[in-house]
Structure 1
Amino acid sequence: MNSHEPPDGGDPAGTAHRDHWQSAYAAHPGMYGDEPSAPARYAAGLFREAGARDVLELGAGHGRDALHFARTGFSVRAADFSATGLAQLTAAAEARGLADRIATAVQDVREPLAAADGSADAVFAHMLMCMALSTAEIRALTAEVHRVLRPGGRFVFTVRHTGDAHYGTGRDLGDDIHEHGGFAVHFFSRALVEELAAEGWLLDDVTPFEEGELPRRLWRVTMTRVP
């Protein structure tokens, strides 16, 4: 079942963030292309080896990675701030015969995740954790992912880090958040990654990689939920 209605609420910053993505997806449908990201390919293999059957993707956008998970046999719950992006994902899933494998829902990740305790085999988030979220909000989101994952479930996420060329440039918003070209990013330190993994997780792997123009410098982080 799909739900494309934005959550109610009156936070101006949240509304501005959502409106940015709504406008971006409306102006550039499928703007990240059809090919899955390298982290999604890695995650699909890892999740399969761990025996996962379903994946919760946070920050799914227009769905290039959600579609990849579905094509490789997973049931997918795709969540994003943008109803426009999710509508594009739904249309793409229907066109590819994958609609029965993908459910979508608008989700503000600053709010509790709309999933039951221990209901997900695996969680994936490409570039979602390093959006304009405070450290407190990132901690709360990580705790929510821990809540919805079953014991032994894997969480794979990617973040831009403090070695990125844009770190320290543009408008400094504090809390390692910098706005460059009208877009704010929370740049992760290694200490923050280790802090997030300290409560209820095994930190399996932190792999550096590059993506896109500049290029952006990121970490691919893999963690396993422990009871």
Structure 2
Amino acid sequence: MTDTPGTGPGREPALADAQRTHWQRTYTANPGMYGEQPSAPAEYAAGVFTAAGAGDVLELGAGHGRDALFFARTGFRVMAADFSATGLDQLHATAVEQGLADRLSPLAHDVRDPLPLPDASVDAVFAHMLLCMALSTEEITALVAEVRRVLRPGGTFVYTVRHTGDAHYGAGTGHGDDIWEHGGFAVHFFPRELVDALAEGWRLTDVHPFEEGGLPRRLWRITQETPR
């Protein structure tokens, strides 16, 4: 059972704050936990961004940086945002080791707050499973509006989310608003209607289903563009 989107205890700041602490501990206990190889969505996004002529990329939820570092190696200027100082410290250290520090800027930021960037200031935005963290529908909607604000006309947004067809949907502890906590991680599982609502005013070019991990996790990879 779920609550009406944007209502219920999923909106309480305490849940997101607890998740921040959880991720800090996780990155501390497991440095480089996702490995060095980029995710498949990041590889796809790099191709899309290159084809669109993008020069700079904002990654939301960069963690310890496997995808942000990949974007930098590919030749983009990258701003890597995350609310975990531990993850960003690991990212910065690796960027220095790999000679990428001049192409990559870590940014400590909680996506529940407005993005600290000017209007129309970036070419592309990437977020792998960030939007399906412990965020309410209201907070997700506000974040996507912020992404649109900072993108230049014709800019591209590629993001991935776990959806309601995932095996963990409805399992564990329910927090309302399609948010379920399992094994310490809280996930906002997306119905297709939410994807479509977030694409209003954009050009939605692709909704691609895929699987990841051993469960497997079931996700959508969404690509949308701002009007030119």
Give a deviation string over 1:142-191, Cα, whole Å, max 9, x none: 00000000010000000000110011111111111111112110000111
Normalised TM-score (structure 1): 0.93
Q: Distance in 2 between matches of 1:12 and 1:154?
A: 32
Are the aligned partners of 2:153 and 2:226 in contact in 1 as well (CA < 8 Å)?
yes
Q: Secondary structure at the match of 2:204?
A: strand
The residue that corresponds to 2:94 in the other structure is: 92
Q: How does 1:163-174 map to 2 (within 5 A)?
A: 163-174=165-176
Q: CA deviation at 1:12?
A: 3.7
Q: Distance in 1 between matches of 2:14 and 2:140?
A: 19
RMSD: 0.9
The residue that corresponds to 2:197 in the other structure is: 195
Q: Distance in 2 between matches of 1:15 and 1:185?
A: 14
Are the aligned partners of 2:22 and 2:184 in contact in 1 as well (CA < 8 Å)?
no
Q: Secondary structure at the match of 1:132?
A: coil
The residue that corresponds to 1:210 in the other structure is: 211
The residue that corresponds to 2:21 in the other structure is: 19
Between stretches 153-162 and 170-179, larger displacement belongs to: 170-179
Paired residue type of 2:207: V
Q: CA deviation at 1:14?
A: 3.5
Q: Distance in 2 between matches of 1:15 and 1:122?
A: 28
The residue that corresponds to 2:3 in the other structure is: none
Give a deviation string over 1:15-54, Cα, whole Å, max 9, x none: 3221111110010000000000000000001000000000
The residue that corresponds to 1:160 in the other structure is: 162
How many residues align? The count is: 216
Q: Distance in 1 between matches of 2:42 and 2:17?
A: 28
The residue that corresponds to 1:75 in the other structure is: 77
Q: How does 1:129-148 map to 2 (within 5 A)?
A: 129-148=131-150
Normalised TM-score (structure 2): 0.93
Paired residue type of 2:208: T
The residue that corresponds to 1:52 in the other structure is: 54
The residue that corresponds to 2:124 in the other structure is: 122
The residue that corresponds to 2:222 in the other structure is: 221
Paired residue type of 1:102: L
Q: CA deviation at 1:72?
A: 0.4
Q: Secondary structure at the match of 1:57?
A: strand
Q: Distance in 2 between matches of 1:122 and 1:187?
A: 24
Q: Distance in 2 between matches of 1:130 and 1:73?
A: 28
The gaps in structure 1 that reach 5 residues or longer are: 1-10
The gaps in structure 2 that reach 5 residues or longer are: 1-12
Are the aligned partners of 2:79 and 2:106 in contact in 1 as well (CA < 8 Å)?
yes
Q: Secondary structure at the match of 1:100?
A: coil
| Higher RCO (C-alpha under 8 Å, 6+ residues apart) | 2
Q: CA deviation at 1:105?
A: 1.0
Q: Distance in 2 between matches of 1:21 and 1:106?
A: 14
Give a deviation string over 1:37-77, Cα, whole Å, max 9, x none: 00000000100000000000000000000000000000000
The residue that corresponds to 2:7 in the other structure is: none
